[in-house]
């Protein structure tokens, strides 16, 4: 207690004491491990990973490009090899993500 009788309660946001931050740090560490385990198909250097997401999957109603990812660009940090990988799980996006159908 302070001299004037007031008490202050604060959240401890230091990483080692905050469960939310600890989960975020854990996810980042796991992502790093996966990236180090992924090797470039050209030079075999570790760290081959997604370097860019390509938005623009067409809307099922109007066909306009949406904000939904249609593919990824994978890249190597050592040899600068690049490869575009298009989505194969879906070919169209919900109108909920379309700027024309759902402004």
Domain boundaries, the chain: 15-97
Contact indicator for 70, 57 with CB cutoff of 8 Å: yes
Give me the residues of the chain with pLDDT under 70, please.
1
Whole-number pLDDT of residue 37: 96
- By C-alpha distance, which of 10, 99, 19, 22 is closest to 62? 99
Residues 11-40, buried b or exposed e (16+ Cβ, 10 A)?
eeeeeeeeeeeeeeeeeeeeeeeeeeebeb
Whole-number pLDDT of residue 51: 95
In this prediction the pTM is 0.68
């Amino acid at each position: 207690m302070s001299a004037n009788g007031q008490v202050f309660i604060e959240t401890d946001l230091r990483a080692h004491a905050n469960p939310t931050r600890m989960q975020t740090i854990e996810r980042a560490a796991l992502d790093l491990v996966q990236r180090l385990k992924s090797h470039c198909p050209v030079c075999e250097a570790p760290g081959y990973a997604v370097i860019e997401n390509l938005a623009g999957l067409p809307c099922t109603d109007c066909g306009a490009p949406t904000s939904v990812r249609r593919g990824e660009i994978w890249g190597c940090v050592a040899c600068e090899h690049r490869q575009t990988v298009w989505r194969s799980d879906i070919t169209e996006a919900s109108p909920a993500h379309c700027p024309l159908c759902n402004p």
